């Protein structure tokens, strides 16, 4: 029975691969199809969907009289598909784990910073069409394109190929599930806990807020320790930007000895006993 199932699966894989190759032979843009296959692991059928997935809305500024097209609708679809696929994978990988654990682990995988990193590691920025010269360094374009790409896979090949893309190309290679599950990503909480123990003053300040798209506001936060800027963070919510700022601050505290010494000096100056002066009665008082 197992042998029969193996042979049936192998035959089905060969047939699907042959059909994919026929689509490749008929496509008009073979270099683009090859680039996508390198990333996806299979040949796409409808290249137009993938072109749209890699089209940033900034291109619309240069074609005001044409029909505007960008990847925001596919980004919306891909966001939902990614959540479903990751939930499916986590459910079967962590057998017996409770809902809270699975939800927390999923949020670490699908958060913007994680998707940006994955997009860059698989080489997706090279295919993105955008008027931003340095879009590979932009804090959100690669991650958005990755979501749109998954949306394109879903429309072109269905859920099974989305699952295959993640299970074969992303999980294990770019995401270690067991490692992610153990990570504590509440950097703001850890920084505040540290400040309470050490009596260092920590403050978070929103420095920038932009409406990037219809439903895509962005935020930038800086964190100061003893009034010294120690980190900045970007995010799609105030909370995310604070987390990123706290993460950078914690890294700088550990790695930048000069910054740490400035913090120590500022802390000592703030907490040093006030100068003792003579009162009108001749008694020593604390100012």
- Render 224-238 in DSSP notation, one character per residue: EETTEEEEEEEESSH
139 CB contacts (<8 Å, ≥6 apart)? 112, 116, 218, 234
* CA 124/CA 109 separation, integer angstroms: 18
Which segments of the chain does DSSP mark as H helices, in order? 2-26, 30-40, 47-53, 72-93, 99-110, 112-121, 141-157, 159-165, 177-182, 187-198, 238-255, 257-271
* CA 196/CA 109 separation, integer angstroms: 30
* CA 264/CA 185 separation, integer angstroms: 26
Is 205 annotated as catalytic? no
Shortest CA distance to 74 belongs to which of 100, 51, 105?
Answer: 51
Active-site entry in 147, 156, 226, 240: 147
Active-site entry in 46, 79, 185, 248: 79
Is 147 annotated as catalytic? yes
Active-site amino acid positions: 79, 147
């Amino acid at each position: 029975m197992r042998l029969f199932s193996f042979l049936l699966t192998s035959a089905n894989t060969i047939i699907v691969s042959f059909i994919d190759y026929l689509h490749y032979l008929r496509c008009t843009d073979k270099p683009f199809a090859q680039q996508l296959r390198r990333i996806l692991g299979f040949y796409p059928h409808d290249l137009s969907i993938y072109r749209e997935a890699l089209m940033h809305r900034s291109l619309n500024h240069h074609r005001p009289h044409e029909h505007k097209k960008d990847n925001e609708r596919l980004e919306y679809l891909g966001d939902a598909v990614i959540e479903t696929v990751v939930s499916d994978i986590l459910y079967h990988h962590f057998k017996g784990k409770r809902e809270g654990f699975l939800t927390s682990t999923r949020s670490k995988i699908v958060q913007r910073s994680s998707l940006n990193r994955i997009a860059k590691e698989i080489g997706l920025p090279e295919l993105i069409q955008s008027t931003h010269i340095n879009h590979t360094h932009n804090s959100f374009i690669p991650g958005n394109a990755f979501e749109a790409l998954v949306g394109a896979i879903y429309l072109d090949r269905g859920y099974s190929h989305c699952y295959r893309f993640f299970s074969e190309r992303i999980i294990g290679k770019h995401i270690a599930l067991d490692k992610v599950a153990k990570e504590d990503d509440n950097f703001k909480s850890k920084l505040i806990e540290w400040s309470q123990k050490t009596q260092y003053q920590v403050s978070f300040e929103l420095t920038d807020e932009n409406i990037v798209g219809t439903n895509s506001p962005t935020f930038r936060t800086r964190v100061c320790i003893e009034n010294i800027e120690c980190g900045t963070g970007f995010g799609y919510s105030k909370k995310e930007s604070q987390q990123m700022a706290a993460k950078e601050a914690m890294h700088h505290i550990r790695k930048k000895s000069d910054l740490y010494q400035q913090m120590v000096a500022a802390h000592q100056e703030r907490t040093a006993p006030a100068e003792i002066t003579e009162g009108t009665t001749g008694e020593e008082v604390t100012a």
